[in-house]
Amino acid sequence: MTEHSLTEEIRQIGRRARNAARMVMSASPAVKAQALTILAELLRTRQAEILAANTLDVQAAATAGMDPARLDRLAMTPAVLAAMAEACLQVAAMPDPVGVIETQWQRPNGLLVGKMRVPLGVVAMIFESRPNVTIDAAILCLKAGNAVILRGGSEAIRSNLALAALLHESLKRSGLPPDAVQVLDMTDRAAVTELCRLDEYVDVMIPRGGESLVRAVCAAATMPVLKHYMGVCHLYVDEGADPDMALALAFNGKVQRPGVCNALECLLVHEKEAPAFLPRMAERLGAAGVTFKACPRSLPLLGASALPLQPEDCGREFGDLTLAVLVVDSLDAALAHIDRYGSRHSEVICTNNHAHAMRFVREADASFTAVNASTRFNDGGQLGLGAEIGISTSKLHAYGPMGVRELTTAKFVAFGSGQIRE
Amino acid sequence: MTEHSLTEEIRQIGRRARNAARMVMSASPAVKAQALTILAELLRTRQAEILAANTLDVQAAATAGMDPARLDRLAMTPAVLAAMAEACLQVAAMPDPVGVIETQWQRPNGLLVGKMRVPLGVVAMIFESRPNVTIDAAILCLKAGNAVILRGGSEAIRSNLALAALLHESLKRSGLPPDAVQVLDMTDRAAVTELCRLDEYVDVMIPRGGESLVRAVCAAATMPVLKHYMGVCHLYVDEGADPDMALALAFNGKVQRPGVCNALECLLVHEKEAPAFLPRMAERLGAAGVTFKACPRSLPLLGASALPLQPEDCGREFGDLTLAVLVVDSLDAALAHIDRYGSRHSEVICTNNHAHAMRFVREADASFTAVNASTRFNDGGQLGLGAEIGISTSKLHAYGPMGVRELTTAKFVAFGSGQIRE
């Protein structure tokens, strides 16, 4: 495709999304719920065509030499489809956020003022690999009354287009415009660049994927971006913390799923706890395959296989079973370390000291700060938002997991009886 | 100053703001309120030095040929200073937003999850003319726990630096870092360009001023921008509306203060009301000096001085006593006009029809939609937010008047007893 025709094609997609957004914005809650219910049914009855398309994607990716971890994330199964259908029904059953007046107050002149939740308009999402993101993003945007443009990775293109066919059928059967969800079949980088220039039609861009994708979209986008950078998450084991609890939190944070953004990357231990805690920790996590990068004070406590911590290991998202370990003097030292090296994602303290708990929760600068709980809970499903469209690590608009509510905004509404300004 | 040293100087300002932000973020509500109370006192006791500095600004501006309307906005009086002091006391008395957990819920595993209001960090604001913005922005940012960098217009530089001296004294006397409020003494455009590149230190940029300033900042800024574009505000007079009320709303919207963003620019009148309403409206508003740009159907109803509406008059912010007038067939036609030509600022319907009122309030796409009230109410003070730092016409983060709350964000906090993820 020539550059000129690609630009025009993407602009037409933007215009169609804007027109669809006008209709979806005022669709009734019942109509939107119906579309989601029909989609759930189609994900069951037309399983075979989705799995067939996915098999072609997986075969092509395997031939191209994709590594097993990524292949595993690409592959869909009947269980994956059943979970998608379940997500559709859950989102359908959630209260519709659009048009709700959340708070109201009255002015001295009798003007009744409120804030009403309204859709953002057109959302564009650029993501990689997992085809379930296609369904999650589409159903959350639809529930929030937005139109969405989805551009998934080339490796999942057949799966995504097969899912798009079901999405379009569910929209049509509910009387909603099929352009409310557009899945791009253009998988080259140029299409991403063009999307990033579409500020006339797109209200917000959401990149979800590796750091290079997120950085490229942030640099190119002319509209606001809700970004999800890397997660460099810490657990601070305070003086007097319950060592069994601290051990369970460290194990869960690092071992349960080391590749994700809310996994634990760095353990900070108070110097009073280190001598007893660190050898136990090293034994338990070491048995699960964890290797340690240790500061000079923790190195002697972590066994022969521990390596010395390098300067670049602080603030690093290892993405595997590597854990940085540092001994600190105090809560203040732990907070200072997090302030310097954290990525504003997920920060946890294990403590029995109430004042320390409250200080940590307030002062650690992250989208999720917690006491005596695993970093792995920083997730829309785990926190009770229903499905999520990503985890924002920037502070504007949304900070942390973004669900349906974060795909809306609030405008001021006022009901008067002829009030004028004096 | 060479370009290199300007870059370095601005970067140092950014670093100092970031360091100050860490301290202000955890300042207690009492300390912040004390700083605001001291500032109110200084604005009274040191009136003379502020007024002397302002007189120099006004004299210089008059010599340079500034027009009387702008000179009037630049000039400060004892009454203006008293109003500033009052604003400080009002903001001091408001509830402190920082650290408040607004909602909490419990997960099935017992994890208590909440959303806590936290500061944004460092705010940078670039604005023109009126020196009271310096105080409004500084006190709102301080209350919200942010550090702020303020860059006002060159015409107000002496006034702004005199106000900065009082701000610094109030911060110091409260034990807060003076760098929490930095007023730039660099008034050239290059300083704005450098500020726009300071994303390492600045969390959000707020331009407030003319359209060219806002567009320039949006184009150059590498951090999120909360923008305040022009206001193209409509009043739709529905079939069956109370004509006296409609007249009062039109008069108030257009005449009370025609130069501001929430003034009325375009009147849409239902065809059934037009024959009786428009001649009355033309007489009343005409007597106040309003001139009309009329569509073919309204032109014969508006008297001899009305001019034919030109295509560019739709969607235009006149900023003076000019009003566009169109006759429309229906509520749908009015909404379609607003959708096409509105600027997402303030849209009002005058109606007695409940279904039309609710449809208009929901469907008009603007930061403020109202029934039977003047467009002029789209203002932080009028809506009850206390002081405002601007009116956002973009939907991300804030939409409409931005007060203290909009200068914070909300993070997830969780209180557990050792929960791990299964």
ipTM of predicted assembly, 2 dp: 0.92
Contact by Cβ (8 Å): A309, A295 = yes
CB atoms B372 and A397 under 8 Å: no
**pTM of the complete model:** 0.91
Pairing outcome for strands A368-373 and A346-350: parallel
Contact by Cβ (8 Å): B154, B74 = no
* Sequential pLDDT tens for chain B (422 residues): 566 789 999 999 999 999 999 999 999 999 999 999 999 999 999 999 999 999 999 999 999 999 888 898 899 999 999 999 999 999 999 999 999 999 999 999 999 999 999 999 999 999 986 888 899 999 999 999 999 999 998 999 999 999 999 999 999 999 999 999 999 998 788 889 999 999 999 999 999 888 888 888 988 888 899 987 789 999 999 999 999 999 999 999 999 999 889 999 999 999 999 999 999 999 999 999 999 999 999 999 999 999 999 999 999 999 999 999 999 999 999 999 999 999 999 999 999 999 999 999 999 999 999 999 999 999 998 998 878 898 998 899 999 999 999 999 999 999 999 999 98
CB atoms B371 and A414 under 8 Å: yes
pLDDT tens for residues A242-282? 999 999 999 999 999 998 899 999 999 999 999 999 999 99
Looking at the complex, report in whole angstroms how far the Cα of residue A400 sits from the nearest Cα belonging to chain B. Answer: 7
Looking at the complex, report in whole angstroms how far the Cα of residue A370 sits from the nearest Cα belonging to chain B. Answer: 5
Among the partner residues B251, B368, B414, nearest to A412 by beta-carbon distance: B368
Beta bridge partners of A293: A307, A324
- The identity of residue A43, as a single letter, is L
Q: State the CB neighbour count (10 A cutoff) for residue A381.
A: 14
Among the partner residues A248, A370, A376, nearest to B413 by beta-carbon distance: A370
CB atoms B409 and A395 under 8 Å: yes
Per residue, what are the HEC states of A203-241? CEEEEECCHHHHHHHHHHCCCCECCCCCCCEEEEECCCC
State the DSSP code for B276: H
Mutate: best of B215, B348, B354, B420, partner A, most A CBs <10 A: B420
Q: State the CB neighbour count (10 A cutoff) for residue B395.
A: 23
User: Following DSSP, what letter does each residue of B41-72 receive, concatenated?
Assistant: HHHHHTHHHHHHHHHHHHHHHHHTT--HHHHH
Helix (H, G, I), strand (E, B) or coil at A383: helix
Looking at the complex, report in whole angstroms how far the Cα of residue A409 sits from the nearest Cα belonging to chain B. Answer: 6
Contact by Cβ (8 Å): B191, B151 = yes
Buried b (16+ CB within 10 A) or exposed e, B274-303: beebbeebbeebbeeebebbbbebbbebbe
3-state helix, strand, coil in chain B (%, to 5): 45, 20, 30
